[in-house]
Amino acid sequence: MNTFIETIKYFFLITAELTLLFLGISTIVALILMYLPQEKIKNWMAAKGIFGNFIGALFGALTPFCACSTVPMTLGFLEIGIPFGAVMSFVIASPLLNPIILAMLFALMGFKIAVIYFIIVFGAAIIFGVILEKTGCEKLVKKVRIKGECQTSNEIPQDFKEKLRLSFRKAWGDYYSILGYLLVGVGIGAMIYGYLPQDIVIKYAGPGNPFAIPAAAIIGIPLYIRAETAIPIGLSLMQKGMSVGAVIALIIGGAGMAIPEMSMLAGIFRKKLVAAIVIVIFFTAVIGGYIFNSI
């Protein structure tokens, strides 16, 4: 009974913490994006060389887009002539780096883990964006246009209070759309916290098992767990003895391979390029995991 009570307490505490965090950060980000000169960002991404990749990865990190917005924006970038490498850096960074993920990592796992995670994934987005462009993957883009109802309004109110109200309304809509994933993640995490024997976790996924990291990355890729689901689960597994590297590999593998996004990417990219993105995410997860364990 004591274990059950502790499990319930854990569930409600983490849910409340993540709810406040998500709504607060999402509102701030939506408000900031209203002031960002997006045309200038597109011009910076159009710059030749690694600077364009840097801006692409940075824009992907700043924008908490879902697949419904990320994929049409990707196609839009390509249609207006943004260099392929910069667009790929945006595609890689967008699902793995956004203020919500970083805030959740900071709140639940600490500042150091959040900073190192950002550096690893941001660097990987730039490097792999350059590699995909240099290896000629641009020819694997299909000549298509995406049609649908994913477009968002570009009308931005002038009054600050109205901007704030609109930002919170968008944050609430985003929160409602991921609430199910969040509750599943926290629920699984609470069960792990309350009932999973610590000895089992240490034996199979602890720091002493060098194969735990690639295994976690492989499990995460087809499993498809959004970051909002994976991070609470990872926190519980860390508390039970799972190595931080394996947890990070699981988060990157799962969050980076969002099934809706990959399905939509298959509509604008050929299979070889989609497979290349999967491989990029896998290597990012594995390399990142080993770096975390070595620090």
Listed by start position, the domains of the chain span 2-294
Highest-confidence range of 2-16, 147-161, 182-196, 226-240, by mean pLDDT?
2-16
Tokens representing 76?
């839009």
SS3 labels along the chain? CHHHHHHHHHHHHHHHHHHHHHHHHHHHHHHHHHHCCHHHHHHHHCCCCHHHHHHHHHHHHHCCCCHHHHHHHHHHHHHCCCCHHHHHHHHHHHHHCCHHHHHHHHHHHCHHHHHHHHHHHHHHHHHHHHHHHHCCHHHHECCCCCCCCCCCCCCCCCCHHHHHHHHHHHHHHHHHHHHHHHHHHHHHHHHHHHHCCHHHHHHHHCCCCCCHHHHHHHHHHHHCCCHHHHHHHHHHHHHCCCCHHHHHHHHHHHHHCCHHHHHHHHHHECHHHHHHHHHHHHHHHHHHHHHHHHC
pLDDT in tens, 141-153: 887 655 544 444 4
Check pLDDT > 90 for residue 123: yes
Are 268 and 93 in contact, with CB atoms under 8 Å apart?
no
What is the reported pLDDT for 110? 86
pLDDT tens per residue across span 129-177: 999 999 999 898 887 655 544 444 456 777 888 888 888 888 888 788 7
Lowest mean pLDDT among 37-46, 205-214, 239-248: 37-46
CA–CA gap between residue 135 and residue 38 (Å, rounded): 29
The reply to whether the predicted model has a pTM over 0.85 is no
Tokens of 275: 């497979």
The torsion angles phi and psi of 269, rounded to 5 degrees, stand at -115, 150
Is the pLDDT at 124 greater than 90? The verdict is: yes
% the chain with pLDDT above 70: 86
Please write the tens of the pLDDT for every residue from 34-75. Answer: 777 667 777 788 877 888 899 899 888 877 655 556 777 787
